[in-house]
Structures are given as structure tokens and as C-alpha cells.
Structure 1
């Protein structure tokens, strides 16, 4: 009878190339009873926009199906039903735009559906326009805002209240009849699995666990390419999901099993310990950094202690396998991507004040890309990965900027 929808998007306008990043559909029968629900994240093929609002990370969305893969299934959920949403005009415009991108003229028209926001003026005259205000005025329980499924459930409960108040038949009976006859074009339903948001506290399996187990290790694993990639990944002391995938792919391409990669990780740690112990003094900050890197590499803290002790004693047999280390200097070009706080222009001003060049787009001359989400799927991020340009989080970049401003002490 009814298909109540809600979307999370990268922004507010389809004309600005904003896309859907999450879609949810809740089915109601003629009495307002829930008969089914469905939800999935959507890979928008671009940056995710205001992530502080919708809370979806690129690590989640990048593994979700694209809309063209979901289009047939979503059409099946809407076909023959009255489309409803809170601010239906907004959701309908995004659905129409997504279907147009895949060459489908979807029979979606806000005038033919039910907008729980507009209907509130009749059923809840004292309520504000927001879904939260309408639900509160209707005496409905609080819900998790800016989650497509929770918002769709809340809108469905609101519509159920309207149905109870309206009685039978409802004043929009003509819309029910019209929806049953809307001519949806035939569409293939691809066999895709919906991807849901991660639960709070979810932790991904360490990427080492995805590598093949084999003993013994190679006599001398050829790890230059792997270590170069690891250098870039660890610039911000965080290994993003995209970087973890790249490390696994590189290890597999060079025939490196888990034991080989663990050996390379220990050699990497030994190099860091050697750099920390070079002046004969290991600060608390340097020790903390070693422990942090060890944890990121899937190594126990005892390995960091051993690497540091060996470096202080001048005996580090696994040291020296790293190739040229990445460095950052005045005159380098930095590019920014994603919605940031404070505003982008403040970040760019700080970069220029530190002697860096700020680029509008990523080129082979770009030294660093600063991304609000290091797993970003923006065009800038995709180009940076193609060119082998490091991508770091703004917090780590700011630390790098502070180090860049400090004069290097003479040895």
C-alpha cells in the first residue's frame, strides 16, 4: 500500500552533483502496520559531503553497491505503492536524478505521493516542520536522526498516526489507486547484498589476518614496494581501509605471505627505533610513537621494546630494509578534499603561511592530499592514489605542519 522512504545524501542539491549515500524503505499496509523494511548504504563514487551530519564513513560506503546495482531492487520496493516521505520533494528529486543517471524514467512525482511534513499542517498544526518536531507532537518515541532506516521508521510511524486520524477511506484514496497503475519500466534486479552501517564499536579485522599463512618465511623478502606504501600509509599514524586493502594487494602481488610481511614490519619498526635512538636520547613522545606504530602493524608492544633496546645497544640486525623515506618541506604542494572544520580557506591560509603551495586539484606535482576522510572516494583522492600521493587526515596534517614550522636542531 505505502512505501515510506528516507535518504542520506552527500549534499542538498542534485544540480551540484550530490548523490545518495543511504536509502531505506519501510512498507506499510492500509492500516499503517509495518509489513517489511529494507536499507542499504550506497557507494556514491565521490566524497561523502557533510559526514558530521549523516555519520557515514567512506570505509563503509566504498564497499557498498552503487545505485545502478540497487536500482532494480529499489524499483521493486516502490512499484505499485504510494510513495511517502518527510519532505517528499527532496527525496523524490534525488531518486529521480539517480534513475536518470542509469537511463530510467522512473514514475516518481512528489505531487502523487504523501509528504508527512506537509500533512502535519492538517494533522499536527502545532508542530514544527522537522521530523523530530512532528514525532514529538504526535507523542512518538525519540529516534536516531540522520540514519535513513531510523528516519524512515519514524516517518512511517507518523504516517500511521495520520491514517488513524483520517479514518477509512483516507482522503488520498485517489493516490492509492493511481500508484497501483503507475507504469514502472522493466528493470533487471541485480543479485547484490545490501550493506548496513557498522555497529558502534565495530573494529575491522587486522589486514595481516587476510594474508596467506606460510612457514618458513622467504630468505629475504623483496619488500621495497610494500615498505614504500607502508611509509605513506603511516604518515598520519593511521591505516585507513583503503590503505589496508592496498597493502594486502601489494603483498599478494609480490608473493608475500603473512610471515614475510611480519618480518618487514619488524624491520620497519627497527628503522624507526634506530632513528629515535640516533641522538642517544629517546623521548616519551618517541617511545609512544613506536608503540603506536607497533600496534598498527599488528605487532606486540614487546617488539617495540626489543627494537628500541637493540637500537640503543647498536645491534639491530633487521634494520636498514626501508627505502627512501617520505619527507615534507616548504615549497611542497598540498591539496585539500572533503568538508572540514574549520572551513577550507582557513586550512589553506595556514598552509600558505607555512611556506606550502596550495593546489585546487591533484597533479603529479602534489606532495600531499589532506582529506576529511582518508578513505574518501572524491576525484582528488582517486587521482592521488593513482599517482602514489599520500592521503592524510587533517589532525595528522596539522601535526606535520607544526613540525615543518620548527627549525631542525643542528647535530
Structure 2
């Protein structure tokens, strides 16, 4: 059987330990012919079912992978893309270990070592005197690496690097031997039904009311009353604690509206009433501070409040505004607070501050916990899933700082 060429791969992962709890969150495959011609590229995000780790490195958000397939669901297509080809990666040991670990978790263990080449190791002979990083090797050939730590970017740059190696290598046998072995290599048979691959979105879409209202049915006539309104408003208030709507929170609002029989129009009315009540609270002392003004603008943007309604709320006291009786979330002394994810501030520092302000940091989520603080409010961690099941609010670090600052340091 003729050799098919090379399959250049790159994984983005939650961490560095494939044998432990770290998982793949993105994979890209670039096909390169035996002669060094790039002939195709595929990529997908992967839902790891856990927290995403250092998001500042790979820049994948939990909202990005919410609807992405699992590794088991992409494995059949991935194996077909690798079959008959030499696997190539920059630091191939890292990528092949993750590949083997993920296939084993998906109940498709690979018995024999895969046929692979490492562009980092090849640099010792083909780029003597150059650094070993992908950036260093690419710089030697003037290969663009803009947007590194995205699987598609790193894999494509590695494919270009491989093509440059092939063109410049004095001894072509280093490729021929590997190609022959790869052509005879047997991959496991994948019987699971594959899912469509799911590329990383080009930009982050900010969740606002307009991004989820379209998913709520239009019902006529209205069949709801004050009790349903208050239940929806209570959830809305909880979702807006940190003045941010996560994808999970938007989904929760849609599901509750459907469950309560609220129409899209009724939800829009409730959003307007909620904003009106917030404006009334801000004006209760007849002074609108800069912070209160900024808060009203934030909520207006999140709820897609019309500009004229925002202007009216900012320009005049709201003496005649509708009063909506929904309790606003507050922390209380002694509340249990749980942290999850790799935060910008060390978790130990947050726990010390929480203790000094009279709260009780905990490591596990129970029904008694008042608040979960996540590096990403859309976190897929087990703690976040349990908090959503219990109806516990989930906020980010900025919101925690604002909520905690109302309580003086005791030591």
C-alpha cells in the first residue's frame, strides 16, 4: 500500500499530565504529502468535561466548548485522519502521550507505539545552533506564528516547518523509513458514531438578552401571573450578580421561561421592569453616583434596554417607576464560599482574604454553600456542575472582590 504522507497534529490541553486528570480541549490535523506539500487542515474544540486550566495560555473559554463534542465523539474521524500517515508534532512525545491517553479513555487503546517524528528533535540535526522552541524553529525559516497556542496555528506552522525540513534535508531516507512503517501501521477500529467537528469561534460573543431571547417561544395568549414573573426575576437577579451573563446562565433563563410558560415578549417586559426597579434603587437617595451610573449602563447593555429608557433612568429621579419586589443577592458574614479554576490571584490569597472578611472558604460544593467563584463563570468543573444543580450563584473574581469589599477586614 502506498504511503499517504504525514499528519501534523497539535493539541491544546488543560495541563501537562495526560496520565492524570488533564484532558485535550482542542486538536488540529494538517496533512502533508511525502514530498512536503500541505494538502488539507482540520480542527475541532473538545469538551473535556472539566475545568479548562490556564485559559490565559490557550485562550479557550468554557462557553466555547459547551456544545463541542467529546474526545470519544471526535476519535473516529481523528483516527481516520491519522491512518496511514506519519504523525508529526513539535515535541511529539507530549502530543502522542495525550493521544494515547485520550484514546484509552474512549475505550480504544492503541497497543503498539505510533509512528511519529518530532520537529523539535529534528532541529538538532537540521537547524544546528537554533533554539528548540516552535517559535525559534519557525523564525529560522521565516514562518509566521501569529496566534500561537491555538491548535490550528501551531499545527499549520509545524507543517510548514516539516515542509522546510524535507526541502533542505540531505538524506531523504529519514522520511522514507517512517512513511513505510506508517503505511503498515494498524489503528483500532472505531465503532462509535462520529460527531461533526466544532471549530473555535473567531471572536468571543458577549451574552446579552438578544442572544437568548430568540430561543424563547412566542406564546399567545399569556398564561402566566405574578408568581411566575417573580420566579423568573429572581433567577435574572442571580444571573446578573457579577454584571455578566454566562452562556450557562442564558441557557438557564431560556429553560426557566419555557418551564414557566413565559413568552419572549413577557421576558422583555420583565427585563424592562427589572431595570426600572434597579434605577429606582439607585435614585432612592436622590443622588446618582458614578458607580451607580456605570452599573445602570452595564445592566442596560446586558438586557438590551433601549437607549431612550437608559437616558431617562440616568437623567431624572425615578419617583414614578414601577417597583419590582425581587430580593437582590448579598453575601452575609459566615457564608460558605467555594473557589474553582486557575485564577489570576492565587487561591490561597483569596481564601485568606475571605477568612479575614468573615466568610468561610470551603473546598467542596454542598447545598449550604452561598457562592461559587470560578476563574471562568462558564466553568465545566465538577464544582460548577454541582453548583448549577443546587441553584448556587457562580461569579468571577471581579464580582467576588466587589461583593467581599462591603465587609471590613478583621485581621
TM-score class, shorter-chain normalisation, is: over 0.9
Distance 1:88 1:8, change over 3 A: same
Work out the CA distance in 1 between the residues paired with 2:69 and 2:20. Answer: 22
* 2:132 equivalent to 1:126: no
Q: Which moved more, 1:113-122 or 1:139-148?
A: 139-148
TM-score by length of structure 1 reads: 0.92
**Which of 159, 180, 184 does residue 162 from structure 2 map onto?**
159
Distance 1:50 1:17, change over 3 A: same
* 2:341 equivalent to 1:341: no
Aligned to 2:18: 14
The runs of 4+ residues in structure 1 deviating greater than 6 Å are 308-311
Distance 1:203 1:238, change over 3 A: closer
Aligned to 2:148: 145
**CA shift at 1:209, angstroms?**
2.6
Work out the CA distance in 1 between the residues paired with 2:408 and 2:246. Answer: 27
Q: Secondary structure at the match of 1:331?
A: coil
Q: Which moved more, 1:112-121 or 1:263-272?
A: 263-272
Structure-to-structure mapping, 1:4-403, within 5 angstroms = 4-106=8-110, 109=113, 112-166=115-169, 169-188=172-191, 190-200=193-203, 202-203=205-206, 206-214=211-219, 220=225, 222-306=228-312, 312-313=318-319, 315-317=320-322, 319-322=323-326, 324-403=327-406
Residue deviations 1:261-290 (CA, integer Å, cap 9, x gap): 011112212221232232333323223212
Distance 1:295 1:202, change over 3 A: closer
Whether the aligned pair in 1 keeps the contact of 2:126 and 2:165 (CA below 8 Å) is: yes
Q: Secondary structure at the match of 1:23?
A: strand
TM-score by length of structure 2 reads: 0.92
Q: Secondary structure at the match of 2:160?
A: helix
**CA shift at 1:172, angstroms?**
3.7
Whether the aligned pair in 2 keeps the contact of 1:106 and 1:185 (CA below 8 Å) is: yes
Q: Secondary structure at the match of 1:246?
A: helix
Whether the aligned pair in 2 keeps the contact of 1:81 and 1:179 (CA below 8 Å) is: yes
Whether the aligned pair in 2 keeps the contact of 1:280 and 1:312 (CA below 8 Å) is: no
Q: Which moved more, 1:286-295 or 1:154-163?
A: 286-295
Work out the CA distance in 1 between the residues paired with 2:335 and 2:204. Answer: 37
**CA shift at 1:406, angstroms?**
9.0
Work out the CA distance in 2 between the residues paired with 1:404 and 1:217. Answer: 43
Whether the aligned pair in 2 keeps the contact of 1:209 and 1:258 (CA below 8 Å) is: yes
Work out the CA distance in 1 between the residues paired with 2:194 and 2:18. Answer: 27
Work out the CA distance in 2 between the residues paired with 1:330 and 1:203. Answer: 33
